[in-house]
Chains A and B, each alone.
Chain A
Amino acid sequence: QSALTQPASVSGSPGQSISISCTGTSGDIGGFNYVSWYQQHPGKAPKLIIYDVSTRPSGVSDRFSGSKSGNTASLTVSGLQAEDETDYYCSSYTYSGTVIFGGGTRLTVL
Chain B
Amino acid sequence: QLRLQESGPGLVRPSETLSLTCTLSGASLSSGSSYWAWIRQPPGQGLEWIGSIYYSGNTYYNPSLESRVTISGDMSKSHFSLRLSSVTAADTAVYFCARGGFGYLFLFDIWGQGAIVTVSS
Which A residues are closer than 8 A to B by beta carbons? Answer: 1, 3, 34, 36, 38, 44-48, 51-52, 57, 89, 91-93, 96-104
B96 at the binding interface (Cβ < 8 Å): yes
In the complex, the answer to whether A98 meets B111 with C-beta atoms within 8 Å is no
A99 to B64 CA separation, bound complex (whole angstroms): 12
In the complex, the answer to whether A36 meets B46 with C-beta atoms within 8 Å is no
- Chain A proximity of B109: nearest CB distance (Å): 5
Number of interface residues of B (CB under 8 A): 26
B-chain residues with CB within 8 Å of residue A1 when the two chains form the complex: 62-64
B75 at the binding interface (Cβ < 8 Å): no
- When C-beta atoms are compared, the residue in chain B nearest to A101 turns out to be B47
In the complex, the answer to whether B114 meets A98 with C-beta atoms within 8 Å is no
Known contacts A45-B111, A48-B107; A100/B46 CB under 8 A? no
Contact of A89 among B46, B52, B98 (CB under 8 A): B46
A-chain residues with CB within 8 Å of residue B47 when the two chains form the complex: 38, 46, 89, 91, 101, 104
In the complex, the answer to whether B107 meets A34 with C-beta atoms within 8 Å is yes
Known contacts A45-B114, A48-B107, A93-B106; A104/B46 CB under 8 A? yes
B48 at the binding interface (Cβ < 8 Å): yes
Contact of A45 among B45, B48, B112 (CB under 8 A): B112
A-B contacts, 8 of them at CB < 8 A, read A34-B107, A44-B113, A45-B111, A48-B109, A51-B101, A51-B107, A100-B49, A102-B46
- When C-beta atoms are compared, the residue in chain B nearest to A47 turns out to be B111
B-chain residues with CB within 8 Å of residue A57 when the two chains form the complex: 101, 109
A91 to B45 CA separation, bound complex (whole angstroms): 15
- Chain A proximity of B94: nearest CB distance (Å): 9
In the complex, the answer to whether B63 meets A98 with C-beta atoms within 8 Å is yes
- Chain B proximity of A98: nearest CB distance (Å): 6
In the complex, the answer to whether B46 meets A48 with C-beta atoms within 8 Å is no
